[in-house]
Amino acid sequence: MAPKHGGGELKDEVIFKQLTSMNTSAYLQAIIGTLFTYIRFYHGTKHQENKYKDEIKRIKDNRARGQPYLAIMAISICSFILLYRGWTSFRVPAGRWRIYTSADPNAPVDYQTSTEANTFLVTYLPPPILLLLVFGYKLIKRSPMTSVEDMDFSDVEFVRGDPIEPKPQKGDLWGRAWWTLAK
């Protein structure tokens, strides 16, 4: 995917930028997947609250304030970044995208690789690949998604026992705000 510049040499900066961009997409997708799993877990505990009272109480004692709303906000922000971080590739004049790279260094500019096409590929290629892998796995293995009615919380244990409450720190406004949120 790395374009060739001047005489067929690959520039390390271009390759590094493309790998960084693809890694960023993969990282954001991992965060979105983790947050999605947490929100499903949260709704499962809310639905099974009457059936597993003691286990759910232990889970609630270790739950952060503002959940699941903070997780929903984080999914929204990560999805927004994932969708719009390659928006500059759409500001290209019509017909200026080139993925092909000519081996001839004297080739006209029209036959050189455009950075916008490469930006588009490295930015928007990982999400469809992830979706194909996830749904392909689900199709091949025929693994259903567990509904909130079927979630089992009967074996919930905490190795350390009761949760440890953080001691509020005396200090300025930001220190008190941090300990209020972390508590």
Q: Would you state the structure tokens that stand for residue 31, as one six-digit string?
A: 């965060």
Q: How confident is the model at residue 14 (pLDDT cuts 50, 70, 90)?
A: confident
Q: Would you state the structure tokens that stand for residue 44, as one six-digit string?
A: 């499962």
The better pLDDT of the pair 174, 7 is held by 174
Q: How confident is the model at residue 45 (pLDDT cuts 50, 70, 90)?
A: confident
Q: What is the pLDDT of residues 87-125, one digit of tens each?
A: 777 776 665 565 555 566 666 655 445 667 777 888 888
Supply the angle between the helices 12-47 and 69-84 in degrees, to the nearest 10: 150
Q: How confident is the model at residue 69 (pLDDT cuts 50, 70, 90)?
A: very high
pLDDT of res. 78: 92
